[in-house]
Amino acid sequence: MCRKTNIAVLISGSGTNLQAIIDACESGKIDGKVVVVGADNNNAKGLDRAKNRGIPTFVIDYSQIIKSFKDNQLPIDFNLKDVLSKQSIFDTESDPEKVKLFMMTRSVAEEKLFNTLSSFDFDLLALAGFMRILTPYFIDKVNKDRMRIINIHPALLPSFPGTDGYGDTFRYGCKVGGCTVHFVDYGEDSGPIIGQKAFEINDCDTLETVKEKGLKLEWELYPHCIQLFEKLYHHR
Ligand code: GAR
């Protein structure tokens, strides 16, 4: 029996990609269903997009958790040595104490994130403008048998990873920009690429028009790649 792919989505902001995913599920472009939407902050406007469609939502307040972090909150199954040996977000030049603190604070938030998501029986976790790095602690818990976390990034990876893909593309003077959907691995925007779309950048373009062109393509690319995932893993 075929069952639709249950999709969990994480956002941080306006959620236009989330909207594109919800619409594609409703129109049948994706054989899937958005079963839950989570955010890392209470002000994420995209939460209303989910609520408007009757999709359950939740917030894990990362800033608050990081601010009030204490050692004794570490998850019981958190293994610092294991996480440090796997992560490739920070290089060997980075301050080891900062890296340690980063992994520990995130694991506290990620335990709550994982526990909340778990009650929704999701097959795929789609990051849609979720502006938090996920650590190996969380990624291993979700992936188990195979990669099941994907992300949309506003640049043609492997160029311009990080938080400002369109800005970095534009300021570098690129004549072509684009967006990428990829699996999430232990690095920053470094996982296997599922799909990309590109657009031309002309002399008359501004950062604003570059973002507009890019977002329009994201809304096509993300549903397309989710449907590819569905076909690959979930069609029975
Ligand atoms: C999108 O451009 C997405 O590619 C980007 O944030 C925006 C979210 O827009 N994601 C990242 O930069 C992740 N590093 P949305 O909230 O309207 O979908």
Q: Whose CA is nearest to atom 14 of ligand 1?
A: 163
Q: Is the pLDDT of residue 106 over 90?
A: yes
Counting from 1 in the atom list of ligand 1, the atom nearest the Cα of 154 is 4
7-to-19, 42, 55 alpha-carbon distances in Å:
13, 21, 11
Q: Which residue carries 């893993």 as its tokens?
A: 233
Mean pLDDT value of segment 186-201 = 98
Q: Is the pLDDT of residue 1 over 60?
A: no
Q: In the CATH scheme, what architecture does the domain 5-233 have?
A: 3-Layer(aba) Sandwich (3.40)
Counting from 1 in the atom list of ligand 1, the atom nearest the Cα of 165 is 12
Q: How confident is the model at residue 2 (pLDDT cuts 50, 70, 90)?
A: low
Backbone φ, ψ for residue 177 (5° rounding): -125, 180
The token pair at 113 is: 């994130």
pLDDT of residue 196: 98
Q: What is the pTM of this model?
A: 0.97
Check: CB of residue 132 under 8 Å from CB of residue 12: yes
147-173: burial string, b at 16+ Cβ within 10 Å, e else: bbbbbbbbbbbeebbeeebbbbbbeee
Q: Which residues are catalytic?
A: 153
Where along the chain do its domains lie?
5-233
- Burial of residue 32 (CB within 10 Å: 0-12, 13-18, 19+) is buried
Per residue in 140-162, pLDDT (tens digit) is: 999 988 999 999 999 999 999 99
Q: Is the CB of 156 under 6 A from ligand 1?
A: no
**Could you tell me the distance, in angstroms and rounded to a whole number, from the CA of residue 128 to the centre of ligand 1?**
6
Q: How confident is the model at residue 235 (pLDDT cuts 50, 70, 90)?
A: low
Per residue in 37-76, pLDDT (tens digit) is: 999 999 999 999 999 999 999 999 999 999 999 988 999 9
Q: What percent of the chain has pLDDT over 90?
A: 94
Backbone φ, ψ for residue 84 (5° rounding): -65, -35
Cis preceding-peptide flag for 158 (omega within 30 of 0): yes
**How many CB atoms neighbour CB 122 within 10 A?**
20
